[in-house]
Amino acid sequence: MSLHANIPRRYTTDDLPQPSVAIRSAAAAIWNPLNSLLEWFGELGMFIWQVMRSTFRRPFEGLELIRQLDEVGSKSLPMVAMAGAAIGAVLALESRHSLIQFGAKSLLPAAVVFSIIHETGPVITALVVCGRVGAGIGAELGSMKVTEQIDAIEASGVNAYKLLAFTRIVACILMMPLLTLAADFAGIITGWLANTLAEPIAFHKFIHAGFAGTGFSDFLAPTFRTMVFGLIIGVIACFQGMRSQGGTEGVGRSATSAVVLSSLFVMLADVILVKLILVFFP
Amino acid sequence: MMPPVQAPAVKPPKSASGKNLASSASAKPSNAQRASADQANAGPAIIVQGLHKSYGEQKVLNGLNLKVGSGQTVAVLGRSGTGKSVLLRLIIGLQKPDAGTIHIQGQEITSANLEEMNEIRKKMGFLFQHAALYDSLTVEENIAFPLRRHTEMTAAQRSERVQELLASVGMEADLQKMPSDISGGMQKRVGLARALALEPGILLLDEPTAGLDPITSGEIDELILKLQEEREVASIVVTHDLHSAKVIADRIVLLHEGNAVIEGTYDELEKSTDEFVTEFFKRDS
């Protein structure tokens, strides 16, 4: 018999009923992503605050802004115009078939123009810019981050938020409506071309019929909605790039997440903005 | 100030152009910069007191104290992960310490906001471990970057100053090259030239000779020695290279577990009986 047989055992917290491994892992599976999500939003808020703080302080980075306007605007123009053109042609071809079935063929120009101006033009432009510009910004800033170039900018007494983020965000905001106009224009032209191939119609008649029921507010609100899309693309891409870590793999992650998240937020914002536009511009 | 360690192995350096780094009147720093340099001469350029920094559970700096006088060069040595580079990043304000204070030329920086910090950073030059040159800019544009941002120089004055700086690091022929087209050693030289562009009173060098062959390392050491001769720059050099530290530093600080184990001249450290110090020197030799 052991010498300690009569000594009463001391109870510790380990003796209390413990949650099972399954419960603990389930709690962790819920909490960890939630925690990461809250952390991401917190960091995004801090990032936006830093950019906003730098907005009204000198220098205004005019040269860099012009460079970014070129990078975001003119270099995206061919791709945006091509996407708009493709959508316009597809819309005309698809709508024509349906409208003929309902005996409303004469409404085709209006259907194409209205659809492009109201929804497809802005959204297609935003998604193309998400892909081209968002990935570019995410990769460029991510690469600068992991190679300490952003640190070098800060170490030389320059506000990196202003020089890198502010200029890119403003360029996205200013260029989005112009790119949307280009996509709309290309879409309407190819819509007319697709329609003309099936049944010839004069361009001025197509335009006249297309814009017959369209007011200025129909055109203005959706186009300026794209400024919000530009803000979202710029902010998300710059944020993902500037928080990049982990070498080349991290740069790849930044570029991918910039595209995925900005596309996601653009679509989310689209739903909200469409509802708001319907309320304020019935 | 402790007397600098004599380095007979290293010859007094000669500028490639024969010009003094601070020779050009057009390239002279502003009055504010000169005033800050005068202020620096009045006391230690850098005072670090009770510096703590942790990353999660990992304690990197644990109450570190350090003083660097104007014109002094202090080499910071230690094993990898002992917070040497973190110390430099805290001094330049790229990260905030958990506790402790840092005074740069009499100004406390840990509580400074971004705008104040940017003003303080103009007094400092920083050479990153991998040079961190802007890869979309040429060598010339890299060096001109701080000049364009913080001085009123004309394009001609800027160009003259850039050429002067590049000549001082022996790179005057590589003005139009991209950083990707030059070697690691050359990138370090360009990084050093960029760090010196605003004629800072304080120079922070993060492993200036790491990854370089012995000859290029010697050339970088020569450059740093030349700076000490020509200008009263307070420098902190983070290095693993004991030979380099012996050549360029007035004092050596050995970090271990987030604190300074020993501080003194190379000879003092070499004679130390401290177990960690003797082990460090033995491994290096």
Closest C-alpha to A92, from A209, A192, A212, A180:
A192
Within a domain: B258: no
Residue B213, classed as helix, strand or coil, is coil
Question: Taking 80 as the threshold, does the pLDDT of residue A64 lie above it?
Answer: yes
Q: What domain range includes position B162?
A: 131-199
Within a domain: B241: no
CB-neighbour burial class of residue A33 (10 A; exposed 0-12, middle 13-18, buried 19+): exposed
**How many distinct structural domains can be found in chain B?**
1
**In terms of pTM, does the model score above 0.95?**
no
Q: Tell me if B46 sits within 8 A of B204, measured CB to CB.
A: no
Q: Where are the domains of chain A?
A: 76-280
Higher pLDDT among residues B168 and A136, named by residue? A136
Question: Taking 70 as the threshold, does the pLDDT of residue B8 lie above it?
Answer: no
ipTM over 0.85: no
Model pLDDT, residue A6? 67
Provide the shortest C-alpha distance from residue B84 to chain A (in Å). Answer: 17
DSSP A116-151: IIIIIHHHHHHHHHIIIIIHHHHHHHHHHHHTTHHH
| Residues of chain A with C-beta less than 8 angstroms from the C-beta of B114 | 50, 53, 159
Within a domain: B159: yes
> What is the per-residue pLDDT across B33-78, written as a single tens digit (0 to 9) for each?
444 444 444 578 899 999 999 998 889 999 999 999 988 899 999 8
Residue A86, classed as helix, strand or coil, is helix
Put simply, the answer to whether A157 touches B132 (Cβ < 8 Å) is: no
Model pLDDT, residue B28? 40
Put simply, the answer to whether A157 touches B133 (Cβ < 8 Å) is: no
Question: Taking 50 as the threshold, does the pLDDT of residue B32 lie above it?
Answer: no
Number of residues written out for chain B: 285
How far apart, in whole angstroms, are the C-alpha atoms of residue B144 and residue A172?
Answer: 28
Within a domain: B95: no
Put simply, the answer to whether B121 touches A148 (Cβ < 8 Å) is: no
Provide the shortest C-alpha distance from residue B147 to chain A (in Å). Answer: 10
| Residues of chain A with C-beta less than 8 angstroms from the C-beta of B130 | 147-148
Model pLDDT, residue A101? 82
User: Hey, which residues does B124 pair with through a beta bridge?
Assistant: B202
Within a domain: B108: no
Give percent of chain B above pLDDT 90: 40
Within a domain: B285: no
